[in-house]
Amino acid sequence: MYGSDSERPRPGARTAGGGARRTAARSRLAAGGACVLAAALLSGCSSDPGSGKGGDSAGGGGQGQRPKSVTPYWVDPRSNAARQADAYREDGKARQAEQMRKIAEQPVAEWIGTEDPGGQTRKVVGAAAKADREALLVLYNLPHRDCGQYSKGGAPDAGAYRAWLDQVVKGIGKRAATVIVEPDAIPHVLMEGCTPEQFQPERFRLLNEAVGKLKSLPRTKVYLDAGNPDWVRDPGGLVEPMKRAGIDKADGFSLNVSNYQTTESNAAYGRKFSPMVGNKPFVIDTSRNGNGPVAGAGADEEAWCNPPGRALGEAPTAETGDKLIDGYLWIKRPGESDGECKGGPKAGQWWPEYALGLVRNKR
């Protein structure tokens, strides 16, 4: 889980808190099958960013906002990437500063932490409103999350989760926000041995409550996470779990959060799944999918974790050219680690070298 960003260290230092590493090839589910809830698990596990130029200068901090017609979301002038770019410039590293700006100039999601969820949410949503933009938020705090892997943890119980959620809801209030609800939570239910069966009904209740409470707000859009096309190969297996989790109340679903699957494969998958859930639209995380997934992923059980050679994908935009795709978003924050693998720091911590690689590897 990403911790609160209210007290960010100087770029180069490691931030506190965990992160949202994302399961992929190691936990892919084969095609077909009814969902766990119907008693049969899906089975067969296998193994150019925009420059930011042309935006207005709302929001302060010297960081311009992207034109609202391109993307409605707020650019944080004090993001880790923005601070890192400033630090590079101060150190006379003009080339690195210019490269880091390619991340800093784009809106990225805020992952709400546990230390002060209400305060963090109010701060972000308030800053976005002041800049005449919308906040992009991620909820990632369900109990028993992440199958005990790099981002394990979450709220200790259902009561704690509800209290945390209520603070987030109050923090948003009547201001504009888009919320991605609990990446991985539903696909993890479909993974044998991941989320114990006794906890599954509670998970669906909490997801449904989260969607409902968020949609009770006047200006909040909600996207319920549906994994990625390299994970649940047959989207039909997601239908019942997504319905139990509240997809009928949500604005749509999210794909590819913190993963590297191509925009094209996600778009095809989303178009196939959408008619199964009432023709709901969807958003795609393009923060790191510019070069697609790493080659030979089947030979690496942690191919999803800080793979080398990856690149920034399409810049955040609402102009997708597809009526079913509401936006390409940077939901995973480029430059934050997937976990302690391949030389990376703890999940969610800032890793400037990897961030620069995402820029330099862009084809």
Say whether 184 is catalytic: yes
CA separation (Å) from 124 to 63, 73, 155?
A: 15, 11, 22
Q: Is 363 exposed, middle or buried (0-12, 13-18, 19+ CB in 10 A)?
A: exposed
Say whether 76 is catalytic: no
Neighbours of 61 (CB within 10 A): 14
Q: Which uninterrupted H or E stretch holds 268? A: helix 263-273
**Options 5, 76, 86, 184, the catalytic residue:** 184
User: CB under 8 Å to 148, separation ≥6 — which residues?
Assistant: none
Is there a contact between 211 and 250 (Cβ–Cβ < 8 Å)? yes
Say whether 338 is catalytic: yes
**Options 5, 285, 326, 338, the catalytic residue:** 338
**Options 76, 146, 230, 251, the catalytic residue:** 146
DSSP 197-222: GGGHHHHHHHHHHHHHHHHTSTTEEE
Strand duo 282-285 + 252-255: pairing:
parallel
Name the residues annotated as catalytic.
146, 184, 338
